[in-house]
Structures are given as C-alpha cells and as structure tokens.
C-alpha cells in the first residue's frame, strides 16, 4: 500500500468532493446525449433500463475506481504503478490519460457549440433552426474561437488547483445549474400539449426493448458517470481516509441520475408540445429546442438560460478530463500544475481543431466514409464521430474492463474492500462485501465485454437470446 504524501492536496469538505465529482459526471452526456438516446430508443422503457444499469453496474464499479484512487493517492498511472510496479498494467493508466486528452478534444467542440447557442437569439432570432444549426457548426470562424475559449476557461479552473479551483467552482456552479433546470422544466411541462411528451418519457412500452437498446442504455450509463478513464480514480485520490466512499459515491450517482432525468423532463414535454419528433438524434437539443423556445413567451431568454446551463455542465466535465492528465504530469514528472495545464490544454486544443472542422467546414473531415466503409460508426461518419467512437466508446469501455480486472484480480477485491471499509463504519462487511467482490471479479467485466462486443458489431445479448430462442 502506498503511503499518502503529506503535501497532496485534498478536498476541503465532503460536499466539495461530491459536487466536484458530480460535476464531472454531469455534462453533455446528461443534458445533450441522454435525451437524444432516450428519444431514439423508445422513451420510458430506455429510461428504466438506464436506471437499472446505473444501480446494478455503474454504481458498484464506481466504488472500484474511488477505492483505487484513495488508496494510492495518485493519478491513474501512479495508482496502478503503486500496486504493480512493473509489467504492462501501467499501460492501462496511460490509456486513461490519453483517453482524457482525446475525449476532451472533441467534447470541447460540442461544448463550444453550446456556448455559441447562448447568443443565438441575439444574432439570429427568427431563422430556420435546422438551417441555422447546419451553417453554425460548419463555420470555422465561429466554432474554432469557441473551442479555444472553452479550453481557456477549462485551463483556468484546473490551474487553480483542487481546492481553490475545481472545488470552489463546483460549489458555485452546480447549485446554479439545478435551479436553472427547474425553471426550464416548469416552463416545459406547463406548455399546452406537454402531456404527450410526459407519456413518451414516463410511460414505458416494453415491446421497444431489444438487445441493441439494452446495450445503448448500458453504454450511456457508463459514459454519463465518467467511468473508464480514471476520472474517479483521480478525484478519489484527493479524498481523506475518514471519508465514506460508499456514501459519497452514492451521492454522485444520485445527482448524475437526477440531472439526466431532469434533462428529459425539460426536453420531451416541450418537443411534443411543439409537434416535433423525439428521434432527431444528436441535433435534438440544438435544432428542436431553439424552435421550441422561439414559439413561447420569453423564449429568447429561456433559450439563453438553457445553453448557459449546458455550458456550465460541460465545463465541470471538461475540468475533470483535463485534471486526469494534469494530475499525471504533476505526480509523475517535474511539471508544476500551471505548466502542465497550459501545455496539455494547448495540445488538446490543437487536437480538437480537426473535430471542429469536421461538421461541414472541411469536406474530407466531415465525411470520412472514404476511410471507414463499415456501418459500426454509423453512416458517413465525420472525424468527430470517429473520435467519439474510438475514445468515447472503445477506449472508455476498454479502460473500464481492464480497470475492473485490475482492481478485482491484480490488486485484489479484498484490498479494495479493505479500503472501502475505512470511513464507512460497519456498513460494508459480510454478505454485502462478498457480493461486491463477485460483482467486481465476474459480473462487471462480463457486462463491459458485452458493451465492447457491441461496439465492434457483435451483439452478445442478441446472440444469447437467439441461442435460447
Ligand atoms: N460524464 C461526462 C458527461 O456526462 C463526460 C465524461 C466522460 C467526463 C468521461 C469525464 C470522463 O458529460
């Protein structure tokens, strides 16, 4: 077991950690991705599957990342090295760090769109929403400065350090986000015709569930909780031993889930009230919502508010993505926090430029079917789609699979349980601890394998169903 160094920064309070970790989890994944995935996958039935995945897979796996982080008091690479000094396992830590850089590169692009949409109503109050979106994301003079701006703000927060930067910001931003969302929900559910949206969102039609929907729900739950690239290892490393990881982790999952559910409540009643369709895909919030806002009283204001809160949510996620990489440089090299944040942030911006240009600005980046001809990534994938596929899906899944095996088998679930017992009183013992061990060693890797197999086009669930049906 590594001895924690006296100088390592720690969160100032439990609420500080919970808000910062919830801030990492809550982001574009909840407010942009969750509603469009729900809309594409049949509504309420998908929501129920998603909730089951959070409760039975992601939450227990979250404890593995938190326990590894707090035990080692290190970034993902250092955490693995502290347990297994030599051999290929430290490459898994390296994969986490790389994944952080590359997810951040294209996540920053979409976050930039959200910032741009704050001002949409000022510049273009009454244009065709679909056309506006298409033109806006294809305009380099808009999307590149917005990406740069978003990266600068992210770097600024990370340079501030754990307590002064991330924690202080999270404490201010997260409650604002909650209040803003409640305002939009109130407007949305009181629109005439909102009932059909509530029905779609809350009244499950189980005939819509098939293997693909199950796998989508599992993948979404995973991405949404920031799992699989060491963000929760890193955030856990700033926690003191007296902290109850089970309770804190539970709060994080609870907040993340609540915000996703609230995002759905904000969007679906409005979509149906406007006679729009829920299966617009990734464009859902950018195309449908401004249209919805336009047609309601105070719409310009509500639209601006919505995109402010989306930007806030994205910022607390980009901060965690950058923090994983910066903590690696601070722990493992001679770089200080400031230098590491500027350097990594600068590179990430450069890597983000092709993703920013991949939505109409540069044609060979916008349609990369010349490079990938199969259908795994979808029809005519852009460079951004490919980045999301490789880093947001494959690499995240691979990281989580390997990390659960590492914690369960290499470090040993007994050690992880020992770590989880510190600060948690008498709650995590006996049958509960034993079942968690079985989960970590067998069930969790198996489920992640199902996600990964699906990503490369093999639907294991469907194959098993076929086998018995
Ligand atoms: N969970 C974040 C979101 O929902 C995205 C993210 C993934 C952040 C992985 C960090 C690590 O937007």
16 lines ligand 1 (CB under 6 A): no
Find the largest Cα–Cα distance for the chain.
Answer: 63
Q: Between residues 450 and 123, which one has the greater pLDDT?
A: 450
28 lines ligand 1 (CB under 6 A): yes
pLDDT score at 335: 94
Q: List the structure tokens of 385.
A: 């789609």
Q: State the residue for tokens 């006679």.
A: 275
Q: Is 292 exposed, middle or buried (0-12, 13-18, 19+ CB in 10 A)?
A: buried
25 lines ligand 1 (CB under 6 A): yes
Give 301's pLDDT tier (boundaries 50, 70, 90). Answer: confident
Q: Tell the residue nearest (CA) to atom 4 of ligand 1.
A: 29
Q: Between residues 312 and 247, which one has the greater pLDDT?
A: 247
pLDDT score at 3: 43
pLDDT score at 294: 77
Q: Tell the residue nearest (CA) to atom 11 of ligand 1.
A: 226
30 lines ligand 1 (CB under 6 A): yes
C-alpha to C-alpha distance for 269 and 335, rounded to whole angstroms: 49
- For residues 66 and 203, is the Cβ–Cβ distance under 8 A? no
- The helix/strand/coil state of 373 is coil
Residue 149: enclosing H or E segment and its boundaries?
Answer: helix 140-159
Chain segment 139-170, per-residue pLDDT in tens? 999 999 999 999 999 999 899 876 676 677 76
Q: Does the structure show a pLDDT above 90 at 380?
A: no
pLDDT score at 375: 59
Number of Cβ within 10 Å of residue 431's Cβ equals 7
Distance 177 CA to ligand 1 centre (A): 16
Q: Which of 87-101, 175-189, 272-286, 369-383 has the lowest mean pLDDT?
A: 369-383
Q: Tell the residue nearest (CA) to atom 10 of ligand 1.
A: 226
What's the rounded mean pLDDT across residues 8-26? Answer: 80
What's the rounded mean pLDDT across residues 118-147? Answer: 86
Strands (E) in 138-263, as ranges, are: none
- For residues 1 and 71, is the Cβ–Cβ distance under 8 A? yes
pLDDT score at 19: 81
pLDDT score at 126: 65
Choose which residue among 285, 317, 327 to substitute to test ligand 1 binding: the one with the highest number of ligand atoms within 8 A of its C-beta.
317
Chain segment 68-84, per-residue pLDDT in tens? 999 999 999 999 999 99
Strands (E) in 139-248, as ranges, are: none
What residues contact 467, with CB distance under 8 A and at least 6 apart? Answer: none
pLDDT score at 220: 85
pLDDT score at 459: 78
Q: Tell the residue nearest (CA) to atom 9 of ligand 1.
A: 226
- For residues 333 and 171, is the Cβ–Cβ distance under 8 A? no
Taking the model in full, what pTM does it have?
0.89
29 lines ligand 1 (CB under 6 A): yes
pLDDT score at 49: 92
Q: Which of 86-100, 404-418, 452-466 has the lowest mean pLDDT?
A: 452-466
What's the rounded mean pLDDT across residues 413-438? Answer: 93
φ, ψ (nearest 5 deg) of residue 424: -110, 20
197 lines ligand 1 (CB under 6 A): no
- For residues 282 and 378, is the Cβ–Cβ distance under 8 A? no
What's the rounded mean pLDDT across residues 12-38? Answer: 86
Helices (H), 410-459: 413-421, 430-438, 444-455
What's the rounded mean pLDDT across residues 172-190? Answer: 82
- For residues 312 and 28, is the Cβ–Cβ distance under 8 A? no
Number of Cβ within 10 Å of residue 172's Cβ equals 11
C-alpha pair distances (Å), 203 with each of 148, 197, 208: 42, 10, 12
pLDDT score at 249: 95
Percent of the chain clearing pLDDT 70 (strictly above)? 94
229 lines ligand 1 (CB under 6 A): yes
Q: Does the structure show a pLDDT above 60 at 2?
A: no
Distance 267 CA to ligand 1 centre (A): 20
223 lines ligand 1 (CB under 6 A): yes
Mean pLDDT across the chain: 88
Distance 29 CA to ligand 1 centre (A): 6
Q: Is 304 exposed, middle or buried (0-12, 13-18, 19+ CB in 10 A)?
A: middle
Looking from the CA of 77 toward its CB, the CA atoms found within 13 Å total 18
pLDDT score at 217: 83
Give 40's pLDDT tier (boundaries 50, 70, 90). Answer: confident
- For residues 18 and 252, is the Cβ–Cβ distance under 8 A? yes
pLDDT score at 310: 86
- For residues 45 and 37, is the Cβ–Cβ distance under 8 A? no
Ligand 1: nearest atom to the Cα of 314? 12
pLDDT score at 11: 75
393 lines ligand 1 (CB under 6 A): no
C-alpha to C-alpha distance for 324 and 351, rounded to whole angstroms: 17
Q: Between residues 92 and 372, which one has the greater pLDDT?
A: 92
Distance 274 CA to ligand 1 centre (A): 30
Q: Which of 52-66, 156-170, 443-457 has the lowest mean pLDDT?
A: 156-170
What residues contact 165, with CB distance under 8 A and at least 6 apart? Answer: 156, 157, 158, 159, 319
């Amino acid at each position: 077991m590594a001895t924690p160094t006296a100088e390592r920064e720690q969160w100032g309070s439990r609420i500080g950690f919970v808000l910062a970790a919830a801030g990492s989890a809550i982001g574009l994944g909840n407010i942009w991705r969750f509603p469009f995935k729900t809309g594409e996958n049949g509504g309420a039935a998908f929501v129920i599957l998603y909730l089951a995945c959070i409760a039975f897979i992601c939450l227990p796996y979250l404890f593995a990342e938190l326990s590894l982080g707090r035990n080692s008091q290190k970034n993902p690479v250092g955490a693995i090295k502290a347990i297994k000094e030599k051999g290929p396992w430290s490459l898994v830590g390296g994969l986490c760090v790389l994944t952080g850089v590359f997810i951040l590169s294209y996540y920053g692009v979409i976050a930039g769109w959200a910032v741009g949409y704050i001002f949409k109503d000022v510049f273009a109050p009454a244009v065709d929403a679909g056309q506006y979106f298409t033109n806006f994301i294809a305009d380099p003079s808009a999307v590149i400065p917005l990406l740069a701006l978003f990266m600068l703000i992210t770097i600024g927060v990370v340079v501030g350090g754990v307590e002064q930067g991330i924690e202080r910001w999270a404490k201010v931003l997260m409650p604002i986000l909650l209040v803003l969302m409640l305002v939009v929900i109130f407007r949305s559910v009181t629109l005439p015709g909102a009932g059909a949206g509530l029905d779609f969102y809350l009244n499950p039609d189980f005939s819509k569930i098939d293997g693909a929907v199950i796998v989508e729900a599992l993948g979404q739950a995973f991405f949404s909780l920031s799992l699989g690239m060491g963000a929760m290892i890193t955030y856990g490393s700033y926690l003191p031993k007296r902290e109850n990881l089970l309770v804190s982790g539970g709060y994080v999952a609870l907040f993340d889930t609540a915000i996703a559910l609230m995002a759905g409540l904000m969007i679906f009643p409005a979509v149906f009230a406007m006679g729009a369709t829920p299966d617009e895909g990734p464009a859902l919030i950018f195309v449908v919502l401004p249209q919805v806002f336009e047609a309601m009283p105070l719409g310009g204001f509500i639209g601006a508010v919505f995109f402010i809160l989306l930007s806030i949510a994205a910022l607390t996620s980009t901060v965690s993505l950058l923090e994983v990489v910066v903590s690696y440089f601070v722990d493992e090299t001679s770089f200080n926090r400031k230098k590491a944040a500027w350097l990594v942030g600068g590179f990430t911006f450069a890597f983000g430029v092709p993703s920013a240009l991949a939505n109409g600005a540069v044609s060979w980046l916008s349609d990369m079917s010349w490079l990938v001809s199969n259908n795994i990534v979808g029809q005519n994938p852009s460079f951004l789609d490919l980045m999301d596929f490789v880093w947001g899906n494959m690499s995240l899944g691979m990281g989580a699979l390997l990390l659960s095996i590492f914690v369960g088998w290499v470090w040993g679930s007994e050690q992880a349980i020992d770590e989880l017992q510190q600060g948690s009183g008498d709650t995590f013992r006996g049958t509960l601890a034993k079942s968690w061990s079985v989960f970590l060693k067998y069930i969790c890797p198996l489920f992640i394998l199902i996600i990964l197999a699906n990503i490369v086009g093999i639907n294991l669930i469907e194959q098993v169903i076929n086998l018995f049906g």
